[in-house]
């Protein structure tokens, strides 16, 4: 499990975390600032889905995996009277998978394979 903590740091306190996240959202061109995790907001605020049984009826130990896309970036902004430097860590989106140990998930998605291996051990064909 990884715990991603949203954070923004800048060399100038006059630049707010919201300004940085708004600029990042604009740069990403796909997400609104409201979709990015903000500093101080607990990841528990994110909607969680209850554990589900395997859809195919497999017996065994089940793993509920959740994933988000993480952005970890450094930036420089040239202002009229100064340059501002900083970094931002945030995440967006949400995806999930229900896995059964002993049943290969047959996926090329690295995060699902990693979740399986961390919980169930090596994948077997």
pTM: 0.66
DSSP state of 35: G
Q: Among 61, 64, 65, which Cα is nearest to 100's? A: 61
Task: Say which residue the tokens 């930036």 belong to.
Answer: 75
- For the stretch 1-58, pLDDT in tens is 677 889 999 999 888 999 999 989 988 886 778 888 888 765 544 555 555 555 566 6
Give the three-class secondary structure for 26: helix
């Amino acid at each position: 499990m990884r715990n991603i903590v949203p954070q923004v740091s800048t060399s100038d306190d006059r630049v707010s975390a919201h300004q940085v996240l708004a600029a990042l959202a604009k740069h990403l061109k796909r997400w609104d600032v409201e979709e990015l995790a903000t500093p101080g907001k607990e990841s528990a605020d994110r909607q969680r889905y209850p554990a589900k049984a395997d859809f195919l009826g497999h017996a065994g130990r089940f793993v509920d995996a959740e994933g988000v896309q993480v952005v970890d970036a450094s930036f420089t902004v040239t202002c009229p009277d100064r340059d501002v430097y900083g970094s931002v860590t945030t995440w967006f989106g949400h995806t999930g998978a229900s896995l059964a140990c002993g049943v290969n998930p047959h996926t090329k998605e690295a995060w699902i394979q990693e979740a399986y291996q961390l919980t169930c051990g090596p994948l077997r064909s």
